[in-house]
Structure formats: structure tokens, C-alpha cells
Structure 1
Amino acid sequence: MKPATAAKKLEVLLTATPEAFRDHDITRDELAALQADPPEWLVTLRREGPHPRPVVAQRLGVSNSGLARGGVDEPLTTAQIGALLDAMPEWLTIERERQRAVRAEETRIRRERAGQQ
């Protein structure tokens, strides 16, 4: 698979990975080995970032669209995510509440559909 696909599966930012990772296609066995026994660079990258948008959104408790509405358009480090959570700007509070409402509605719909079957 392409390095971009492997990075996505590993939930890391491709541009932050070592050049050796980006320079060649990754086999499924290599990906499995990285997941089972991650090298130090992967452990550090997952812990400190920079993180791709889906990971940033998940850690902040918002959607990718919520990040865009909040003006977050670049990868963030773990420290930057922590600072945002500590400061809790108004946009983040609004987007977290929006995400909670969406999840609650999805749960209600799933339960309703399960009861109809």
C-alpha cells in the first residue's frame, strides 16, 4: 500500500513520518509489524504529534467539520490540543455540544430502528 494509506491506518501524519517510511510502499506484513511492535518514532509521533485532522477532532471531541468551523486548518501537537482543552474557547464549547447532540440523535435512531425489527 502507499505510504499515505499506511499512515492513515496508523493514525499518524504522513509528513511527520521518517523519510524511510515515506519512500516506499508498505506491505500488509510491514503494517502489521508496525502495529504490533511500533518503533520509537511511531510511539513518539502518536504520543506527541503532530496529529492528522481525524485524531485532532477525536481528541477535542468534535467533528472534522467542527474543526473547520473553528478555524483549525493545520495539524496540532498533543500540547496544542491540551492548550485548547484548557482554554476551552467558545467555538470549541459549541462544537463539542453539537457533537454530543449528533451522537445522541444517532443513538436514538439506532434504538428506534432496533425496536421496529
Structure 2
Amino acid sequence: MIPPGLIPVFGLRTDRITENFHLNPLTPIMKSQENVLVLTAPSELTANDASSLRDKAKTRFTENYTDINLDCSHLGFIDSSGLGALISLQKLAAQRSGTLRLLKPQSAVIQILELTRLHRIFEIVPG
């Protein structure tokens, strides 16, 4: 039997809403971010949100950028479509010899990345 709140294969899903939910400005993690596109992940990255994140990144990823920083501090759930979106962002950055950085992912997201071995291809910056 699967415990309540656990989604098989895809990770933990929390049904509680953070009372003080707000988006803070991203703290710079390097001296110069002029070549870094900064995006914020939604609270859930599923089939419903994956294509919009991918489209937003492609639209905003102009020739000025090489790297993508994705703020994952509020991302509590990700499914296979969400993982596909992350892989697309990584490929987008790699086309310009850049990288995708996942900033401050929650433990449930890290578990999924480790389970799928995707933690080996993404740069993960703990919070």
C-alpha cells in the first residue's frame, strides 16, 4: 500500500499550502549574471505547466544568455513531463556551451532527480 501523499515513481506530493508563500528576488550566486537567464519554477511542474515553462525559456533565451538559473525553491512536485522540460532547458543552454542550474530544490524534487539519475546532468545549488 502506498502511504497518503506519496506518488509512486514521481515523488512526494504535499497537499498543504505554505501560508507565507511569496517570491523573493533571486540572490545572485555569481559575481556577474549578465549571461544568465533567471526563471522561477511553479509549485508543481506537471504536463500542464511543462510546455509553458519550456516556451517561456525559449522566448526569453536570447543571444545574450548562455546559462539558465531555475529557482526551484517553491517547486514541491514534478512529474515526467516536468523532468522533460528540465532536460529541454538543459539542452537549450548546452547549445551555447552553458548549463542549467536548479536553485534551492526541495527534498522531494532532489529525490526524483536522484531516482532518475538526472542529478548527474543538472547542476544543483542547495538552498
Task: Please state which band the TM-score falls in when normalised by the shorter chain.
Answer: under 0.3
- Give the TM-score normalised by the residue count of structure 2: 0.22
User: Rg: which structure is higher?
Assistant: 1
Say which structure is richer in strand: 2
Higher relative contact order (Cα pairs below 8 Å, separated by 6+ residues) = 2
TM-score, normalised to structure 1, is 0.23
Bigger fraction of residues in helix = 1
